Structure 1
Amino acid sequence: MPYEPPTHTVERSLRATTGAKIIAGVDEVGRGAWAGPVTVCAAVTGLRRPPAGLTDSKLITPKRRLVLCGELEKWVTAFALGHASPEEIDELGMTAALRLAAVRALDGLPVRPDAVILDGKHDYLGSPWQVRTVIKGDQSCVAVAAASVIAKVHRDMMMAELGITSEGCSAFGFDVNAGYPSPVHKAALQERGPTPHHRLSWAYLDALPQWRHLKKVRVSAEAAALESGGQLGFDF
């Protein structure tokens, strides 16, 4: 199914209405995973024509996504990644963890953006950043789409490497599921229990009586809703 390519409409609007010159698109990946960090990419693109085929990372095949990521990293004006660990997610809740990862990404850019375009309808970033939220911004906005692809590829690579190099992780299929629920992941949890890379405040442990004692106290109602699996539209 063909998709409309993303445009610079939002960036142009921000430039016209706020005077912003440096605008970063921000998107996250890993929100709905059971293991691994939540990862945020901040990408500054300017108003140049993007590489062909750019859209939301979820709409691109893994092979094409990898190639496109390489093209984007050369094409963007700047990009940076930020992560929040499973421990930080358990301690802070998802909204605060997302903000932490986003601030880390934005702070990693060589120049501070005048404005930020955030994918979705909720502003989890807040003051002092000037934020414009855009529903499905990863499909409609060039900078956010670029951030979506770069974040997805880098987190997938991190999780695949984790499955290879971290003791006890090879059975979980992180190279395929990137820490999200899957039959292989669920079976490994049943047999082996969670690893140090799992989020221990999430509800999947309720279905594992032998490992339920490891569960951490839920931080917030928002975190509990996100951990319940499939309620908010995950990005696997």
Structure 2
Amino acid sequence: MAAPTYDVERELIARGARVVAGVDEVGRGAWAGPVVVAAAITDLSVPPAGLTDSKLLTARRREEVAAAVDSWVRAYAFGAAEPEEIDTLGMTAALRLAAERALAALPIRPDTIVLDGKHDFLGAPWAVRCVIKGDQSCVGVAAASVLAKVHRDAMMAGLGETYPEYGFAGNAGYPAPVHRAALAEFGPTPHHRMSWAYWDDLPAWRHLKRPRVEPVVDGQLGLDLG
């Protein structure tokens, strides 16, 4: 597979962008824990060896690449939306909130965003370029992908020390068998998303399920793509 390039960043700079940030999220499909967004700004220098979509790397290799990115990238920051915010706002708005927090935490304000995927969950006032599989093709997005994944995995491992039955250190809050079994036996922790459909399959706990928020898209109710 080809390594990510600066093709998109260079095109945007040629069109007038001054500071371009790659943005990617992790934790969207998890049952527990926050959704985390990383924003990364590069200086168009040669990226660390092995940089690519975090999902294509082993856990050990991700940590190695993330350490190299940390000392190489011009600037980066994280933002998160917690389960309560996801339940209250819906996933699309929660992603926007997490991204805005990440962008606000950057020491340099970008004027253009390269966002992984085809859905712009940021919107105005940001100038956004959506790139499908941007975490594989764009250096800045790949850097954000690796940083976000390693950061969130560490957060979930920390939660796993408090809630060892759920196996968070291994599954990061995603629906692995040990996680499903713990939910059925012990019910939710304060870090579970309470509006999600999986509660329908847990008879002892489904009464705790919260109504799911329908997001507003262009002024109309739409599908929450989370």
Query: TM class, shorter-chain normalised?
Result: over 0.9
- Distance in 2, matches of 1:100 and 1:80, equals 14
TM-score by length of 2: 0.95
2:53 — aligned with what? Answer: 56
1:71 — aligned with what? Answer: 68
* Runs of 4+ residues over 3 Å off in structure 1: none
Q: Tell whether 2:13 aligns with 1:12.
A: no
Shift of 1:21: 1.5
2:170 — aligned with what? Answer: 176
- Distance in 2, matches of 1:59 and 1:105, equals 24
Task: Give matches, 1:3-152, under 5 Å.
Answer: 3-17=1-15, 19-152=16-149
Shift of 1:73: 0.6
Of 198, 203, 207 in structure 2, the residue corresponding to residue 204 of structure 1 is: 198
Shift of 1:106: 0.3
Per-residue CA shift, 1:49-94, capped at 9, x if unaligned?
1000110000001001001101101100000000000000000000
3-state SS of 2:223 partner:
helix
Of 208, 211, 214 in structure 2, the residue corresponding to residue 214 of structure 1 is: 208
Q: For residue 13 of structure 2, what is the amino acid of its counterpart?
A: R
The gaps in structure 2 that reach 5 residues or longer are: 215-221
Shift of 1:151: 0.1
- Distance in 2, matches of 1:48 and 1:137, equals 18
- Distance in 2, matches of 1:41 and 1:74, equals 16
- Distance in 2, matches of 1:46 and 1:9, equals 13
Q: How many residues align?
A: 219
Shift of 1:194: 0.8
- Distance in 2, matches of 1:96 and 1:222, equals 12
Of 165, 180, 191 in structure 2, the residue corresponding to residue 186 of structure 1 is: 180
3-state SS of 1:209 partner:
coil
The answer to whether the 8 Å contact 1:94/1:222 transfers is: no
Task: Give matches, 1:218-233, under 5 Å.
Answer: 218-220=212-214, 222-223=223-224, 226=226
TM-score by length of 1: 0.91
Shift of 1:95: 0.3
